[in-house]
């Protein structure tokens, strides 16, 4: 399928759903996205959803990015998670010089993955040297480049500081061949993401392959998308993944209820008033969560496009909506799982894997309960 970048991301994602659904069992079993799935995502330009248009990317608005992930997640959560991770990582291109960005993203497969912030890099002539190991690199098994977020120290080991006194943190980028990957992702859910560890030893990183992440003054692209930053975009994307998982799980429960006979009863589940009411309430909960997430994202995008500013209020609103949506999606999945009864425990049915995937999502940083505290603190500090 040939694709024009920047057009029809959601439609292309929806068209790939049958392929991804068919590969989901192999993805789960091998703990890797399969070659046909990765090839299809690349061929259809989905990894380039948030890459600048100046590099041939889609530079998509948040709504299109979120809908794309939602459609993929309905088919397989691990695929959607890896796609979300790597498309957001690609936003670092907006802070690189054009030639460097082309070298990373415009030579196949052009996929970047990274893990959590950790460790230090020592400043040397022309760049930095680093020996370290990082964890939680979702999508690293498909990546051609890896990144890491490191604190910078001078040649004498003294930590470098920003103008405000905070530690200087840079994102360093290097070919995946420069690192050793460790197969450590043995998790209850999102098994196919290959969220493994990686390490480098005395690796030299040229200055041009480093960037300040989510620092507006360091941006080389003027589009409003890059003002949002990777942190909030991760939140929106992974909340959309949770909605896709919840939608697919509830749809499976509805399909089951239409035909399944309850134990010791002559009638099907669809005729049971308790089941009818539960489905109605759960459908309302899911629709409300989706509406809230998208309304928040779209209001933020309108303000940002008009003003050019991603404000503290925007960041707080996105954090609240994303966290609540993930938690609400988990409740929907739990309800659908329990509604399915013993059917749900068998791997041959569509409940057990989605139940595990959803609860792996709910354990991620984007779903931390402390986000509610942060938002509540900001609300209480307002002068109205």
What mean pLDDT is predicted for residues 10-38?
97
- d(CA 238, CA 232) in angstroms, rounded, equals 10
Nearest to 234, CA basis, from 84, 104, 116, 348: 84
Q: Determine the Cα–Cα distance for residues 111 and 197; give it in Å rounded to an integer.
A: 17
114, pLDDT greater than 80: yes
Residue 12 is predicted with a pLDDT of 97
Q: Would you state the pLDDT for residue 347? A: 84
Question: Does position 82 have pLDDT exceeding 50, yes or no?
Answer: yes
Q: Which residue has the tokens 């068998």?
A: 346
Cα-based torsion angle of the residue sequence 357, 358, 363, 369 in order, rounded to the nearest 10 degrees: 170
Question: In this predicted structure, what is the pLDDT of residue 261?
Answer: 60
Q: What is the pLDDT of residue 4?
A: 43
Q: Counting runs of H as helices and runs of E as strands, what totals does the chain give?
A: 10, 8
- Using alpha carbons, select from 7, 55, 83, 43 the residue that is nearest to residue 240: 83
pLDDT at res. 32 = 97
For residue 274, what pLDDT is reported? 85
The whole-number average pLDDT for the span 238-256 is 97
- Indicate the SS3 state at residue 159: strand
The more confidently predicted of residues 341 and 94 is: 94
pLDDT(342) > 90: no
Higher pLDDT, 260 or 266: 260
pTM: 0.94
Residue 201 in this model has a pLDDT that exceeds 70? yes
DSSP, residue by residue, 167-179: BPEEEEEEEGGGS
Alpha carbon distance 294, 63 (integer Å): 7
Q: Tell me, what DSSP letter sits at residue 164?
A: T
Say if CB 351 and CB 337 are below 8 A apart: yes
Both tokens of 352, joined, read 């057990």
At residue 189, the 3 state secondary structure works out as coil
Contact 108, 98 (CB under 8 A): no
CA distances from 70 to 74, 149, 248 (A): 6, 28, 10
Q: What is the mean pLDDT of residues 251-270?
A: 76
**3-state secondary structure string across 281-307:** HHHHHHHHHHHHHHHHHHHHHHHHHHH
Give yes or no for residue 263 having a pLDDT over 60. Answer: no
- The C-alpha atoms of residue 307 and residue 280 are separated, in whole angstroms, by 40
Decide which of 272 and 183 is more confident: 183
Please say if the pLDDT value at position 70 is more than 50: yes
258-263: long-range contacts (C-beta < 8 A, 24 or more apart)? 260/343
Quote the CA–CA distance of 358 and 249 in Å, as a whole number: 10
> What does pLDDT average to over the chain?
94
Question: Does 5 score more than 50 pLDDT?
Answer: no
**264: DSSP letter:** T
Question: Which of these ranges, 79-88, 159-168, 205-214, 337-346, has the smallest mean pLDDT?
Answer: 337-346
The answer on pLDDT for 1 being more than 60 is no
Q: Examine the pLDDT at 321 and tell me if it is beyond 50.
A: yes
pLDDT greater at residue 263 or residue 156: 156
pLDDT of 265 reads 55
């Amino acid at each position: 399928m040939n694709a024009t970048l920047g057009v029809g991301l959601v439609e292309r994602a929806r068209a790939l759903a049958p392929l991804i659904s068919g590969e989901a069992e192999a993805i789960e079993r091998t703990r890797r996205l399969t070659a046909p799935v990765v090839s299809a995502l690349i061929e259809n330009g989905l990894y380039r959803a948030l890459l600048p248009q100046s590099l041939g990317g889609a530079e998509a608005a948040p709504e299109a990015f979120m809908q794309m992930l939602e459609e993929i997640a309905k088919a397989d959560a691990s695929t959607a998670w890896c796609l979300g991770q790597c498309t957001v990582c690609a936003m670092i291109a907006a802070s690189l010089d054009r030639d460097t960005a082309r070298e990373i993203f415009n030579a196949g497969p052009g996929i970047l993955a990274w893990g959590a912030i950790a460790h230090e890099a020592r400043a040397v002539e022309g760049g930095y040297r680093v020996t370290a190991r990082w964890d939680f690199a979702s999508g690293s098994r498909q990546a051609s480049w890896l990144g890491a977020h490191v604190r910078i120290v001078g040649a004498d080991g003294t930590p470098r500081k920003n103008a405000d006194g905070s530690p200087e943190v840079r994102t360093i980028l290097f070919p995946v061949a420069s690192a050793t990957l460790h197969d450590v992702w043995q998790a209850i859910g999102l098994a196919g993401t290959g969220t493994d560890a990686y390490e480098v030893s005395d690796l030299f990183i040229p200055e041009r392959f480093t960037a300040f992440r989510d620092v507006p003054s360091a941006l080389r692209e003027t589009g409003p998308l890059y003002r949002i930053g990777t942190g909030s975009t991760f939140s929106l994307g992974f909340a959309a993944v949770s909605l896709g998982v919840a939608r697919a799980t509830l749809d499976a429960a509805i399909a089951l209820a239409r035909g399944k006979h309850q134990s010791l009863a002559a009638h099907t589940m669809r005729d049971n008033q308790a089941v009818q009411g539960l489905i109605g309430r759960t459908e309302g909960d899911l629709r409300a969560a989706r509406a809230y997430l998208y309304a928040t994202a779209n209001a933020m995008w309108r303000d940002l496009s008009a003003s050019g500013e991603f404000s503290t209020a925007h960041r707080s609103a996105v954090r609240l909506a994303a966290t609540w949506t993930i938690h609400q999606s988990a409740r929907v999945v739990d309800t659908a799982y329990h509604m399915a009864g013993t059917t749900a425990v068998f791997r041959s049915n569509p409940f057990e894997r989605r139940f595990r995937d959803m609860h792996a999502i709910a354990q991620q940083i984007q779903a931390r309960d402390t986000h509610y505290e942060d938002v509540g603190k900001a609300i209480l500090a307002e002068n109205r």
